[in-house]
Amino acid sequence: MGVTDRQTGFPQRWWRALERHPPPVPGLTGDRWRSPLRGPWLTAVYGAVLLVGLPLVIITGLLDYAAYGPQFDQALPREVGWLRLPPFDWPTRPSWLFRVTQGLHVTLGIILIPVVLAKLWSVIPKLFSWPPARSLAQVLERLSLLLLVGGILFEIATGLLNIQYAYLFGFDFYTAHYFGAWVFIAAFVAHVTLKLPRMVSALRSRPALRDRRRPGQREPLRAELRTPLAATRPEPPDPDDLVATAPGAPTMSRRGAIALVGGLSVLLGALTIGQTLDGRWRRTALLLPRGREPGTGPNGFPINRTAAAAGIQPDEVGQRWRLTVRGGDRLVTLDRPRLLAMGQHTARLPIACVEGWSTRQTWSGVRLRDLATLVGVDDPASAQIRSLERAGLFNQAILQANQVLDADSLLALRVNGVDLSADHGFPARVIVPALPGVHCTKWVAEITFRTGADG
Ligand SMILES: Nc1nc2c(c(=O)[nH]1)N[C@H]1C(S)=C(S)[C@@H](COP(=O)(O)O)O[C@H]1N2
Ligand SMILES: [Mo]
């Protein structure tokens, strides 16, 4: 009987055999990775940026899910089992709330892509090390890494495809992105718990580089940022095997590597941020597939789905159009002239789409709460809005009580002083402060106000 590995129960000669016979895959032998920049310090710098940035992307992502109204089963995916978030009413104030949470989620998510890739690059020797594990703890660690790396790449890929309106995948975006997020979150929490001490000590490392002007004081980051290419040396060998065993000559300083990644992030941010701004800035959003040239005039702002794409027939929205309003056992039918004869209210409110773009316009129309009063519902628990649109995921929406009662919540008839265009929802559309764009239903045909008693 040979000696047995305590944790895995593998006889040691099996390990040695594994070690001696790596599969013929490039990268499995330690000396394949030669960059002298790789090491715990650089990994920790990228890691620290992600440690601050990724939680923001995660939190804003989960908030966006909450904003969709999971309590009405209208957040997607609908069935999330015990991953259901604690339900709460999404506020209507500040009116730019969803614009900011969704804008941050998408923009920051994009900006962090170069940092994620740089972090992966910095630990690549570990991902390929052979044998894959030496103990049970290592097997678990590598499994969690698989979920971490797979999770973030999956979230980036599905998110990017969604904002490009490229539904290439054969599965539902919302389902994939939501469950993928939880896989990533679990792996991220485990990874941070395991690696935080290592990150902190690595950031404080590089003791060879002391601040020359203040002797005795260690300022690794500043010292490193002052180190040019010519003085760039590999980090000392580390227990994690990140530092190359046979480092090549540097072609870039560490500050250069940081600047390169930072520069790419700034560039991506600059090409994205315009989609959340109005006016000519929108043209700078080169990564935005739609809405960069939204036309001119009062209706010249992005269109998510055109009337033609939604299958709206011109005669349905002409003279023949009627709005049906229900509440309790009352039912009122209104044509557009009757609606225009009611008290009109004007509000400057944003539309913010889940794909990340947003815009702020001046809407006017009838207050939703006035329509509720019209059918005798003074304290609605919710309102169900239905569109003329027959198919499509977003042909109806349910609004919470606070969303119906807000003084700026409108069934909008006009925008920027003119009638809504066909593509923006003529004859009437919903517009509510801080409501996700998807629920600002266009071409409204029917509104049902429910009280608590209706269940
Ligand atoms: N009936 C209907 N309403 C709809 C949609 C739709 O597909 N059908 N799309 C929603 C989405 S996703 C957004 S972001 C907003 C965009 O409004 P806009 O096209 O007027 O800018 O409309 C919403 N209202
Ligand atoms: Mo949207």
Residues 327 and 265 in one domain: no
Q: Is the CB of 437 under 6 A from ligand 1?
A: yes
Task: Supply the pLDDT for residue 7.
Answer: 52
In a domain, 285, yes or no: no
Residues facing 345 on adjacent strands: 365
Output the average pLDDT for the chain: 90
The finding on whether 438 has its CB within 6 A of some atom of ligand 1 is yes
Report if residue 243 sits inside a domain.
Answer: yes
Same domain, 254 and 338: no
Residue nearest to atom 10 of ligand 1 (CA): 438
CATH number at 413 reads: 3.90.420.10
Q: Would 223 be classed as within a structural domain?
A: yes
In this structure, the answer to whether residues 258 and 343 fall within a common structural domain is no
- Res 243: pLDDT: 93
Q: Is residue 302 within 8 Å of residue 289, measured between CB atoms?
A: no
> Which of residues 250, 272, 294 is at a domain's end?
272
Of 64, 303, 304, best ligand 1 pocket probe by most atoms within 8 Å of the beta carbon: 304
Ligand nearest the Cα of residue 163 is 2
Determine the pLDDT at residue 291: 64
Q: Are 420 and 301 in contact (CB under 8 A)?
A: no
**Could you tell which of 419, 438, 439 is best to mutate to test the pocket of ligand 1, judged by most ligand atoms within 8 Å of the CB?**
438
Which segments of 239-304 does DSSP mark as H helices, in order? Answer: 254-272
Residue 293 lies in a domain: no
Same domain, 397 and 258: no
Shared domain for 360 and 255, answered yes or no, is no
The pLDDT value recorded for residue 2 is 46
Rounded-to-integer distance, Cα 229 and Cα 209, Å: 14
- Of all protein residues, the one whose alpha carbon is nearest to atom 18 of ligand 1 is 303
Q: Tens of pLDDT along 337-360? A: 999 999 999 999 999 998 889 999
Q: Which domain holds residue 320?
A: 314-454
Residue 282 located in a structural domain: no
The answer on 321 and 260 residing in a single domain is no
H helix intervals, 85-135: 97-111, 113-122, 124-127
- Are 158 and 173 in contact by the 8 Å Cβ rule? The answer is yes
Ligand 1 neighbourhood includes 432 CB (under 6 angstroms): no
pLDDT at 61: 97
Question: Is the residue at 171 inside a domain?
Answer: yes
- Give nearest CA residue, ligand 1 atom 19: 303
Any ligand 1 atom below 6 A from CB of 389: yes
Residue among 332, 314, 357, 342 nearest 412 (CA): 342
Neighbours of ion ligand 2 (CB under 5 A): 304, 353, 437-438
Question: Which positions of the chain have pLDDT values less than 70?
Answer: 1-11, 26-30, 166-169, 207-219, 289-292, 455
Distance of CA 140 to the CA centre of its chain: 28
265 and 379, same structural domain?
no
**By C-alpha distance, which of 156, 108, 152 is closest to 356?**
108
CA of 409 to the centre of ligand 1 (A): 16
Which residue among 303, 394, 398 is best mutated to probe the pocket of ligand 1, counting the most ligand atoms within 8 A of its Cβ?
A: 394
**Cβ pair 399, 383 in contact under 8 A:** yes
Q: Do 325 and 267 belong to one domain? A: no
pLDDT at res. 242: 92
Q: How far apart are CA 344 and CA 100, in angstroms?
A: 28
- Encode pLDDT of 210-248 as tens digits: 445 555 555 678 888 899 999 999 999 998 889 998 999
Of 272, 301, 324, the residue that ends a domain is 272
Query: Which residue CA neighbors atom 16 of ligand 1 most closely?
Result: 304
Please check whether residues 78 and 211 belong to one and the same domain. Answer: yes
* pLDDT tens figures, 50-92: 999 999 999 999 999 999 999 999 999 999 999 999 989 999 9
Q: Are 267 and 321 part of one and the same domain?
A: no
pLDDT at 409: 98
**In this structure, are 336 and 247 located in the same domain?**
no
Residue 212 lies in a domain: yes
In a shared domain, residues 30 and 148: yes
Residue 304 lies in a domain: no
The pLDDT of residue 209 is 47
Please tell me the total count of domains within the chain. Answer: 2
Give the single-character DSSP code of 4: B
